[in-house]
Amino acid sequence: MNLKTRQEYDLVRSCLQGSESAFKALFDMFAPTMMAVCNRYAVDKCEAEDWMQEGFIKAFNNLGSFKFEGSFEGWLRRIMVNTALKHLNKPSRKLEQTELDQFLDTGYDGDILSTLAVEEIIKVVNELPEGYKTVFSLNVIEGYNHKEISEKLGITESTSRSQLVKAKKALKNKLHQIMKLAV
């Protein structure tokens, strides 16, 4: 067990005893990353903050179910993603189906892409239609496979695949334009 994990476990144990400072320390440690997670699924910052608040409350109230196996961040991240998906699955929030034809299938230069600032990439991802953004984030960033995504979003696996393809094309297209400007 590495030092970071041990520190996380110690904090979780202190939280289980009700220590306010431990709760605050865990929050401060993970809130910036979890905010970025929520941002990838929400339409705006306000909504992302609401979801993150809900996710932290859920996590802190159920710390007893954390089994001290693996990373606490991973456990917390899954809660955040599930919280976001729960909201996206509401009848009032239908995932947007955007047509592929809008985007040209462009190539990209991996080396130039690597040099792009994170903020620029986040901005581009956030500009994607909601359906693309969700499937892309779940698959590429969080590592869920299409079967899991289909279950989580209530869509078919083929829809998940096609949304991902469209998302990647749209992203490449937008990034290509940025890279061209940069060059």
Partner 1 sequence: MRNFEDIMKEKLYGAESDYSEKLWGNIKKQIPIAKKSNARYYWMASFLVAFTSMIFMVQQYPNWKVKQQANQVTEVEALDVSKFILSPEDLASRQIYSTSHLKPTLKSPIAFDDKVLSTQAKVLDSDVPTLSSVVSNELISADVAFTNQTSLESIVLRDDFFSEKSKNTESENLEVASKAPLYTLAKISKFNVGLKIPTYEVPEKNKIKDNDVHCEVLNGRQSKYYIAARHINSYAFNSISAKNPAAEEYMSSRFTSESKKYSFSDEVALGMEYRSGLFVELGFRYDQINEKFNYLDPNARGETTVIVSDTVFSGGVSEVFTDTITTELSGVREIVNNNHFRKISVPLSVGYEFPLNKKVSIAGRTGLVLNIWSKYEGKMFDENLEVVSINDRQSSNNPFFNKLVHSVSASAYLQYQMNKRMEFLVGLDGYKNLGSASFDSNPLNQKHSSLGIFVGTKYNL
User: For binding to partner 1 (CB under 8 A), which residues are involved?
Assistant: 13, 16-20, 23-24, 27, 31-33, 35-36, 39-40, 45, 48-49, 52-54, 56-58, 60-62, 64-68, 86-87, 90-93, 108-111, 113-114, 116, 118, 121-122, 125, 137, 140-141, 168, 171-172
- Using the minimum distance from each CB to partner 1, give the nearer residue, 53 or 102: 53
CB 127, min distance to partner 1, A: 14
Asked if residues 80 and 34 have their Cβ atoms less than 8 Å apart, the reply is yes
- Using the minimum distance from each CB to partner 1, give the nearer residue, 166 or 172: 172
Alpha helices (H) along 20-71: 20-39, 45-61
CA gap 101, 98 in Å, rounded: 9
- Using the minimum distance from each CB to partner 1, give the nearer residue, 3 or 107: 107
CB 135, min distance to partner 1, A: 13
CB 58, min distance to partner 1, A: 6
* Upper half-sphere CA count for residue 82 (Cβ side, 13 Å): 11
- Using the minimum distance from each CB to partner 1, give the nearer residue, 26 or 155: 26
CB 40, min distance to partner 1, A: 7
Q: SS3 letters for 73-132?
A: HHHHHHHHHHHHHHHHCCCCCCCCCCCHHHCCCCCCCHHHHHHCCHHHHHHHHHCCCHHH
- Using the minimum distance from each CB to partner 1, give the nearer residue, 149 or 171: 171
CB 133, min distance to partner 1, A: 11
Structure-token match 């940069």, residue found: 182
Q: Where on the phi/psi map is residue 143: left (φ > 0), alpha (ψ -120 to 50), or beta?
A: left
Of 160, 116, 166, nearest in space to 138 by CA: 160
